[in-house]
Amino acid sequence: MIVGIIGSGAMGSGIAHVVATAGHQVYLLDKNSKALERASQTIKGGLDKLTAKGKISEARANEIYSQIKLTESHQDFGACELVLEAVVEDLETKQNIFKEVEMIVQEKCILATNTSSLSITSIAAACNKPERFIGIHFFNPAPVMQLVEVIPAVQTRAGLAEDIKQLVQQWGKLPVVAKDTPGFIVNRVARPFYGEAIRILEEGIADVSTIDWAMTELGGFRMGPFTLMDFIGHDVNYRVTETVFASFFYDPRYKPSFTQKRLFEAGYYGRKSGRGFYSYQEGAAQPESNRDEALGKYILNRILAMLINEAADALALNIASKEDLETAMTKGVNYPEGLLAWADDWGLEKVLETLDGLYEEYHEDRYRASVLLRKMVKVNKAFFSA
């Protein structure tokens, strides 16, 4: 199979690595020759690391590398069976690209986008043959992260999502299928990990390091929400939050915070700018956390209940299957347990009690419990009953 990849930035170069490793020939296109050079070095560097670790031989690394042809022209895409786009997150740019690409590729060529936050349907709408269009959403870094969300557009032909799932599996990845709704699975369900943590901070219930401690030590998450936001960067994380909020027709559950907006405005992007919620300057003292068990449990339960509520609601609205929701959160953002199984372990009644308690206290719509959760408690059922 010959695969065309458009955009050779962080994602395009990583996807090229994955696809070439799976044995496909790749045309990696960028309008910027410097970006292509960087991509080539990144891919080479990634393969060299694998060789140094003894994971692949030097000959194999060379073989993979030689499968990737760098190009600045769509004209090379004539023989492609799949063209996947990973350029800047801008609807018009993406739509224009596919208009051009469709003039060159064959009828059977599948067209795909790696967009994180745009609707797949809106990009497909620019195509002459939108039935061959689909979302294939990788996570960063693509060679390392196992999860891939496959998102059919409204126009996508029946069966294409299944074909892409199989292809993604051949690439050694774990595909899940998501409905074309804002944030797909991971970027939707994970919102409260950031939003509720910031809310707890804003109310002065605990400071960043105490909240991070509660989530890592008591919750088993790999990184606390503030460490993670600083890692992702507030430029990226704040913009995603804003986009998701607007895309959900301003549902208060996804409301961004002024705390993060101000960090973004100040250019305190996190690790990459040396300052975010924490300081990354050399020798900067890190704040001590207040390891109060009761406070820690309150923080964990509040954030976890909100996360479970998102997962339950995504299930209620058929965004994805139970199994895919669990795979997405454990493999896409490395949660210690799937949220639905976690809810079963905790007890659905307790989850509902926590949410209703918050609703009672705040009278804010953001704390409304999912109808599915309420129904399941009523009939005394678990998400995964034995």
Ligand X SMILES: NC(=O)c1ccc[n+]([C@@H]2O[C@H](COP(=O)([O-])OP(=O)(O)OC[C@H]3O[C@@H](n4cnc5c(N)ncnc54)[C@H](O)[C@@H]3O)[C@@H](O)[C@H]2O)c1
What are the catalytic residues? 116, 137, 149, 187
User: Is residue 88 part of the contact set for ligand X (CB under 6 A)?
Assistant: yes
Residue span binding ligand X (CB under 6 A) among the ranges 25-33, 172-180, 192-200, 205-213: 25-33
User: Is residue 370 part of the contact set for ligand X (CB under 6 A)?
Assistant: no
Give the contact letters, 287-326, x = binds to ligand X (CB under 6 A), - = no: ----------------------------------------
Compute how many other C-beta atoms are within 10 angstroms of the C-beta atom of residue 381. 11
Residue span binding ligand X (CB under 6 A) among the ranges 114-122, 167-175, 297-305, 353-361: 114-122
Nearer to ligand X, 24 or 137 (CB): 137
Provide the minimum distance between the beta carbon of 109 and ligand X in the complex, in angstroms, as a whole number. Answer: 17
For ligand X (CB under 6 A), the number of binding residues is 24
Among 75, 106, 140, 169, binds ligand X (CB under 6 A): 140
Nearer to ligand X, 80 or 312 (CB): 80
Nearer to ligand X, 57 or 140 (CB): 140
Among 32, 169, 170, 321, binds ligand X (CB under 6 A): 32
Report, in angstroms and rounded to the nearest whole number, the Rg of the chain calculated over CA atoms. Answer: 22
User: Is residue 270 part of the contact set for ligand X (CB under 6 A)?
Assistant: no
Contacts of 96 (CB under 8 A, 6+ apart): 126
Residue span binding ligand X (CB under 6 A) among the ranges 43-51, 122-130, 137-145, 215-223: 137-145
Among 4, 12, 152, 183, binds ligand X (CB under 6 A): 12
Nearer to ligand X, 98 or 268 (CB): 98
User: Is residue 35 part of the contact set for ligand X (CB under 6 A)?
Assistant: yes
Question: Which residue's Cβ has the minimum distance to ligand X?
Answer: 9
Rounded to a whole number, what is the largest CA-CA distance in the chain?
Answer: 64
Provide the minimum distance between the beta carbon of 292 and ligand X in the complex, in angstroms, as a whole number. Answer: 35
Among 1, 10, 91, 126, binds ligand X (CB under 6 A): 10
Judging by beta carbons within 10 Å of its beta carbon (0-12, 13-18, 19+), is residue 107 exposed, middle or buried? Answer: exposed
User: Is residue 11 part of the contact set for ligand X (CB under 6 A)?
Assistant: yes
User: Is residue 93 part of the contact set for ligand X (CB under 6 A)?
Assistant: yes
User: Is residue 135 part of the contact set for ligand X (CB under 6 A)?
Assistant: no
Residue span binding ligand X (CB under 6 A) among the ranges 30-38, 47-55, 261-269, 309-317: 30-38
Binding site for ligand X (CB under 6 A): 6-12, 29-32, 35, 86-89, 93, 97, 114-116, 138-140
